[in-house]
Amino acid sequence: MTWVPGEKLIIRIWETCERTGIGLIAPWQIRREGRAHSDVRREELLQDAQTRKDVEAILAGRAVLGKNSELLPTPAPDPQFDKSHEVVALPDRSRSTLNILARSNAIGAAEKAEQLLNLRQIVAKAEEVAQSDPDQSVPPPERPTTDWFSRWREGAERTTLEELQDLWARLLVGEIKSPGSFSLRTVELLKTFGQHEAKLIAKIAPLVINDQVVFKGQAGARKHPNAVENSGIQYQTLLELQELGFFHEVQGIGSKYEMTIDMPGMAVRFQGGVAVVITLPPGGSPKIFSVASYPVTRVGREILRLGKFDAPPDQYVSEFMRVVEQEGLSVKRGRITSGDGTHVVFDEAPP
C-alpha cells in the first residue's frame, strides 16, 4: 500500500464532498485497483476534459443527446414534417412548444453537468493543496457546517476560471483543516469575484504587513511620501478594494498601526517570505511606535490566506525601514524560512 502525501486530509476532503454526490473515486477503490493515486486522478481529469467539450457542444446547440445517451449532431430542421409518424396531430404551435421543452431539458442537464465538472476540478485542486501542505497532521473531528458547505458548493460549481478555482480549493482545504476559520461572509464575497477582483487582490496583497494592514507612511506627518501610491497603486484602486470589503476605510490620513518593540526584537512579515526585523538600540527600553496604514478587514485577511502572492517592491520595504529608523530603532531585512514565520535569515547571510 503506497502512502500518499496529505492522505489523511485528502480522505477528509472526499468524505466531506460525499454529501454533494460529486462522484469522487474513494481511497479504498484506488487501493483495491492497486493503482497510483496520481494515475487515477490524471485519468479522471482527462475524462472530465472530454465531457466538458461535449457539454459545451450541447449548450452551443451543435449536438444533442440520443436515446442511448450518445452524442449526436443537431439535426437540420426538416421543412416537411413526416405525418406518417404522428400518433396525434399537433398544431404547429404545440409542436414548437415540445421542441422548446426538449431543448430546455437538454440545456438544463448540460448546465448541471458543467457545474459538476467545475466541482470535480476544484476538488482535484484541493487534493493538490493537501499533498503540498507541510502540516500532515490528522484533521480535527469537527466538520464544516452544512450551511457553510452548501454555500461553498453554490459558489464553486459556478466557477470556471482556473485562478478562481484555486481560491475555492484552498478555501475548502482551510475550512476542513480548521472548521470555522473562514466566515460565511468570505464565502459570499468570493462568489462575487471575477478576474478583475482577483487581480485587485493580487495587486494589493504584496503591500500587506503582518496580515493586518497596508503600510502608508509615517504616522502623524501631514506631508509624507505615500508608500502605496509610490508602489503603483492608485487611490481609485484603494476605493475599489474598500467597496469590495477588503479595507475598513481608505479616506483621510489613514489609521495608526501600533507596534511594540522589546527584546529580542520583532519581525514584521511581508508577502513572498520577506521580513524586516526591528530591534532596540543597545541598552534601549521597550518602545511603542506607530505607522500610518490602511487596516484590512477580517474578510480581507481570510482572502489573503487563500493565495500565494509576490514579494513587495524593494522601494516599499525600504520606505518602511526608513520610517522605522526615524524612531531610533534598528532594522534589518531578511527572508522567512519557516512556515510559522518565526525563523528569519538575513539577506547578508548566504542562502
Share of the chain above pLDDT 90, in %: 40
Of residues 298, 223, 212, 287, the one with CA closest to residue 256: 212
pTM value is 0.74
Give me the long-range contacts of 237-243 (CB less than 8 A, separation at least 24). 237/200, 237/203, 237/204, 238/204, 238/294, 240/200, 241/200, 241/201, 241/204, 241/300
Cβ 300 vs Cβ 186: under 8 Å:
no
**Sequence ranges of the domains in the chain:** 7-184, 209-346
The closest of 171, 159, 228, 231 to 195, measured between CA atoms, is 159
Contact yes or no for 139/9 (Cβ under 8 A): yes
CA dist 173 and 167 (Å) reads 10
User: Rounded to an integer, what is the distance from CA 166 to the centroid of its chain?
Assistant: 5
Over residues 297-314, mean pLDDT: 93
Answer positive or negative: Cα dihedral of 244, 245, 247, 251. positive
Compute the average pLDDT of residues 144-171: 93
* Average pLDDT for the chain: 79
Indicate whether 89 pLDDT > 80: no
**Pick from 5-14, 84-93, 339-348: least confident:** 84-93
Q: pLDDT tier at 149 (50, 70, 90 boundaries)?
A: very high
pLDDT at position 172: 95
Examine the pLDDT at 82 and tell me if it is beyond 90: no
- Band (pLDDT 50/70/90 cuts) for residue 219 is confident
Lowest mean pLDDT among 92-101, 135-144, 169-178, 237-246: 92-101
Residue 185's alpha-carbon distances to 190, 302, 303, in angstroms, are 9, 10, 11
**AA identity, residue 165:** Q
Q: What is the pLDDT of residues 292-301, one digit of tens each?
A: 999 999 999 9
Q: Are 284 and 274 in contact (CB under 8 A)?
A: no
Between residues 282 and 49, the one the model is more confident about: 282
Chain segment 33-75, per-residue pLDDT in tens: 545 555 555 555 556 666 666 656 666 667 655 555 556 666 6
Sheet of 330-336: strands edge to edge?
A: 266-269, 274-279, 330-336, 344-346
Least confident among 129-143, 186-200, 292-306, 333-347: 333-347
